[in-house]
Amino acid sequence: MENAYGKVWLIGAGPGDLELLTLKAVRVLASADVLIVDALVDPEIASFAPRARVVTTGKRAGCRSAPQDFIQRLMRRYARQGKTVARVKGGDPLMFGRAGEEIAYLFDNGIEVEVVNGVTSALAAAASLTVSLTHRDFGASGVTFVTAHRQDHSAPDWATLAAAGTTLAIYMGLGRACEVADGLLAALPASTPAAVVACASTRAERRLVTTLGQLADDCRAAKMPAPALILVGAALESAVGDSLPAARAVA
């Protein structure tokens, strides 16, 4: 008997600005029967899915959110009803979005799944700062995407990451800015350029340009809100200036 199940699309909504949606994302949203949307996604995204039932599954730092297992069972339930399900995540679903868990779960349950990429917040943050994450003049030949928030609450090996010489794009690190800075200072000078971009690409965006040595103190003083992306590395030199002055907040 032919499988009558529907299909799940894992869609990246980007960092917040709906104009950063891809044409493919807009097309898929228009065909969706069900929209399962994370909290960090602009609710106006529902306007691109006029016939879809909207289900909100919030995931915000420090707030109670829908358990991952519940979200996966929700996708399975609607797909088994033959519906087209759009699972919409902030940023890119393949970048710290638990897409691996969801893809495996759906495959194990015989449900077709396809991914539509979105702009991840590190790229939006760099665009906001008008800096390149790679830069030949500063020896930045790569970018390392890393989360400061592991499932077992352990910290990454910051010293090893710092020694790699890449630009570091640190997700979910704002609440651990002191720990992050201390770990990186084991291998990097305090004068290393650093920046924090909160709510990148949205009307609420805030930018803090600083140095690694001042990172934790400046984040506290500026009361930077979450979600925020921390960038560290020589490629940010143009954002902080040649003389590496004391931190300056840019509204």
What residue spans define the domains of the chain?
7-116, 121-250
Q: Annotated catalytic sites, by residue?
A: 38, 59, 172
What does the pLDDT look like over 173-224, one tens digit per residue? Answer: 999 999 999 999 999 999 999 999 999 999 999 999 999 999 999 999 999 9
Helix or strand (DSSP H, E) at 218: helix 215-222
Examine domains 7-116 and 121-250 and report if their fold is the same: no
121-250: CATH, from 1.10.275.10, 2.60.290.11, 3.30.950.10, 3.40.50.620: 3.30.950.10
Q: Name the pTM for this structure.
A: 0.88
What does the pLDDT look like over 86-105, one tens digit per residue? Answer: 999 999 999 998 999 999 99
Those residues with Cβ within 8 angstroms of residue 72's Cβ, 6 or more apart along the chain or in another chain? 101, 102, 105, 106
CATH domain 7-116 topology: Cobalt-precorrin-4 Transmethylase; domain 1 (3.40.1010)
What does the pLDDT look like over 101-152, one tens digit per residue? Answer: 999 999 999 999 999 999 999 999 999 999 999 998 988 899 999 999 777 7
**pLDDT at position 155:** 87
Bond from prior residue into 227 cis (ω within 30 degrees of 0): yes
